[in-house]
Structure 1
Amino acid sequence: MGRRAWAWFAAVLGCLLLAPGALAVKQAVAATAIGGPLNLLLVGIDPRNDWTAPLADSIIVAHIPADRSGAYLFSVPRDLVVQIPAFAKSGSPTQRTKINAAMALGSRIGERRYDPAQGFELLAQAVGDVTGIRRFDAGAVLNFGGFRKLVDAIGGVSLPVDQDVVSEHLKPDGHGRDRLPECPGHDNCHRPYIGVQKTYPKSEQPVHFKGWEALDFCRQRYGLPHSDYDRQRHQRQFVAALAKKLKRTIIGDPAKLVQVTTALGSSLTFIGGGRGVAEWAQALKVLRIKDMTGVGLPGSALFEGGLYQGEQLPRTVGPFFTAVVQDSIPAYLRANPGVVTVDH
């Protein structure tokens, strides 16, 4: 994996959209309401530079029931092997590869030029092919710098830590760990870091995270019992915690909203499905933000010819995806305990 930043699931749209009161600014709202069940696609990318194709390093689907009784968040493994459809806008042919590549394949708009919003289109198609969600109502692409800025702009985020986590990348003071002498450059060694490490001990009491700590914590998978699946859970936990903090701190405070959105700048690409932020705020103002449920999918390693190719999902998750499309997740979870896991 090298030094790739395991960046950022579009926490900000998940938070801004799922914290509706926070966005109740004085803007005109369309007469046609946003009704029915909603599915949002939240994507995090690793923007190493402006001329490198972005990969979707985190993919979260947020399902909001028609009755606005809460929200369900589930992660699509970034290394899930899928058939990515052809995409005329970028000239990308159909190909079988990891789903995170769909963002890169779809985003190309010219020689070493990439557009995250266009890449989102192809990724949404690929995720739709996996889940059966034929259209996402809204979505966002956020980079890891934006995630860090967001957390700092709202004064940090607190949440319990469900297992001991040790940073692969940072020292306790937040500086990068030293590298092995034979691994001086980017991505030329699998695990090039040495020396003292930042740690996040298990704690039933909420732990306060600054922006850099939140980003670092959500990047980690090495040393965790379920590797990337534990990391996915931590990302979902942060989406929920961020949404709740945003609702508490920004509701009724337009000045604070301006401060937060200014801090994000170009870190966030918003896809509103033809509707603006104010319309989404109005539609979701009755959402019970405290009732957010994270759901983990039972993925596993895919080997072909003795070589690791990526991740796969069992057929048993098909009925869960059907429940998402049919807006019947609570009934599915009650009738099928243990097929998917519910975050705690």
Structure 2
Amino acid sequence: MIEDELREAFARHEAQAPPLDPLRRAIDGLAARRRRRRTVTRTGAAAVAVALALALPVQLWRGGLEVPLPLGVGASTTAAPSGPLNLLLLGLDGSGSVRNARTDTIMLVHLPADGSQAYLVSIERDLATDMPGVGTTKINGVYSRGGVEAARDAVQRLTGIRADAVAEVEFSALRSVTDTLGGLPVCLPEPMRSQHTGALFPAGCRDYTGDQVQDLMRQRKILLHGGYDRDRVGQRVLLGLAKKAGDRSLLSDFWVVSQLARTPGITLHTGDLSLLGLAMRLDRVEAADIVGISQPTFYVTKIDGVFYEQLDPAVAPGLFRALRDDTMSAFAQAHPAWVLQE
């Protein structure tokens, strides 16, 4: 009798029980936040470093926040692929229109299938490329001639890799995000004096404001290896973003997340990928496992009176093969000169 009454009571209240999935996600989120307190930098931080735009879907998904994202992203329900993933970051020097912008920072972000690390592979701005209908041009000028798809196609022709998603980030957006986070820690191997402002950036690690970070990212002619050293500065800035995002515990600060979500100058093109699927893949990467890769030396050529950079003929083919074959760990071990050193 008592057993029957209990069954009837449970049946009456079953419809009132909350759905289990949100509760499970909340418990998982709480456990993740506790783990982050112990390990300092974890996952969401890596997402910020991978792309300013990509960090926001991760934070909103994991925190259950509802903030409008002006990222120009259409609805998509296809999950991220289980294999390796390649994202293309385009840092735009100039704003207002595509015609006025150059992609002076071009970076492929490779996420291996096993989720072990993220590789930031820089592509030098002055590399010679053949653009259909134009001929030989510098790869940083392709964007101003044909927009984001032309830039993606140029990278594909160069590497043999089709980017699964593309993020366009104006330098002004980087400045704004830096100030919203209260500055970024950037570590420089040697002192630099700005060719634009005369400011001195000392060797070592220190916090920089948004204006200082933007100034750092624009340096090239004063550096020993020109654009190649500039690419490594950009990688160091992204590592600083990862560290700062972890330190700030963005999930617990709704105001900061809201400000980041409304930063102008960030556009994300995901194609068939869903933001949720992308966030889930980025969530597997820890900030300490982001590896910078860039060509260390010059290979200059002159075509029709114009100087261009060329890829290292011995090593670059192996780099692109490693990206295609998902063997970047072996490449990094075999070519330490190409790896960013702290």
CA RMSD of aligned residues (A): 2.6
Give the distance between the partners of 1:159 and 1:293, measured in 2 at CA. Answer: 15
Q: Is the 8 A contact 2:79 2:274 kept in 1?
A: no
Report the Cα offset of residue 305 of structure 1.
6.9
Whichever of the two has the greater Rg, that structure is 2
**Paired residues for 1:294-333 under 5 Å:** 294-304=292-302, 307-316=305-314, 317-333=316-332
**2-structure distance, mates of 1:253, 1:94:** 48
CA contact (8 A) 1:39 1:137 kept: yes
TM-superposed deviation, 1:31:
7.3
CA contact (8 A) 1:21 1:247 kept: no
Which residue number in structure 2 is paired with residue 183 of structure 1?
A: none
* Distance in 1, Cα, partners of 2:98 & 2:55: 32
Q: Is the 8 A contact 2:167 2:266 kept in 1?
A: yes
**Are 1:166 and 1:198, in contact at CA under 8 Å, matched by a contact in 2?**
yes
The alpha-carbon deviation at position 51 of structure 1 amounts to: 7.6
Aligned residue among 144, 161, 169 for 1:104 = 144
Aligned-pair CA distance for 1:29: 9.4
2:177 to 150, 156, 179: 150
Helix, strand or coil: the match of 1:300? coil
> How many angstroms does 1:20 deviate by?
7.4
Contact 1:18 1:243 in 2 (8 A): no
Q: Give me the whole-angstrom Cα distance separating, in 1, the residues matched to 2:229 and 2:176.
A: 24
In structure 1, distance between residues paired with 2:235 and 2:122? 8
Q: The residue matched to 1:140 in structure 2 has which SS?
A: strand
Q: 1:33 to 1:167 in 2, by over 3 A?
A: closer
Q: Which has the larger share of helix?
A: 2
Q: Counterpart in 2 of 1:343?
A: 341
Pick from 73, 87, 90: which aligns with 1:43?
90
Equivalent residue for 1:22? Answer: 59
Residue 298 of structure 1 contacts residue 313 of structure 1 at CA under 8 Å; is this kept in 2? Answer: no
1: distance between equivalents of 2:202 and 2:165? 36
Give the aligned partner of residue 281 of structure 2: 283
Q: Residue by residue, what CA displacement relative to the aligned partner does 1:68-94 show, whole Å, maximum 9, x if unpaired?
A: 11111121111101112x3xxxxxx14
How far did residue 21 of structure 1 move?
4.9
Query: CA separation of 1:163/1:274 partners in 2, compared to 1, >3 Å: closer, same or farther?
Result: same
1:269 pairs with 2:270:
no
Match for 1:257: what amino acid?
V
Question: Which structure 2 residue ranges, 5 or more long, are not aligned?
Answer: 1-47, 67-74
Deviations 1:195-250 (A, max 9, x none): xx2101112xx201010011111211233221221111000111122133224431
Distance 1:29 1:81, change over 3 A: closer
Q: 2:199 aligns to what? A: 198
Q: What is the rounded CA distance, in whole Å, between the counterparts of 1:216 and 1:101 in structure 2?
A: 21
Distance in 2 (CA, whole Å) between partners of 1:288 and 1:19 is 16
Partners of 1:261 and 1:54 lie apart in 2 by: 23
Show structure 1 runs of 5+ residues with no match.
Answer: 1-10, 87-92, 107-118, 171-196
Distance 2:50 2:261 in 1: 11
The 8 Å contact of residues 74 and 297 in structure 1, kept in 2 or not, is answered as no
Q: State the partner residue of 2:159.
A: 131
How many Å apart are 1:303 and its aligned residue?
A: 3.1
Q: TM-score, normalised by structure 1?
A: 0.75
2:183, 2:207 within 8 Å by CA — same for their partners in 1?
yes
Q: Secondary structure at the match of 2:288?
A: coil
Q: Contact (CA 8 Å) 2:51, 2:89: kept in 1 or not? A: yes
TM-score (norm 2): 0.75
- Superposed CA deviations along residues 94-145 of structure 1, whole A, max 9, x for unmatched, are 4211111110111xxxxxxxxxxxx111111111111111x21112111111
What does residue 112 of structure 2 align with?
65
Equivalent in the alignment of 1:161? 188
Cα distance in 2, alignment partners of residues 270 and 29 from structure 1: 13
Between the aligned residues of both structures, percent identity stands at: 30
Of residues 245-254 and 213-222 in structure 1, the stretch that sits farther from structure 2 once superposed is: 245-254
Give the distance between the partners of 1:327 and 1:39, measured in 2 at CA: 10
User: CA 1:233/1:62 → structure 2, altered by over 3 Å: closer, same or farther?
Assistant: same
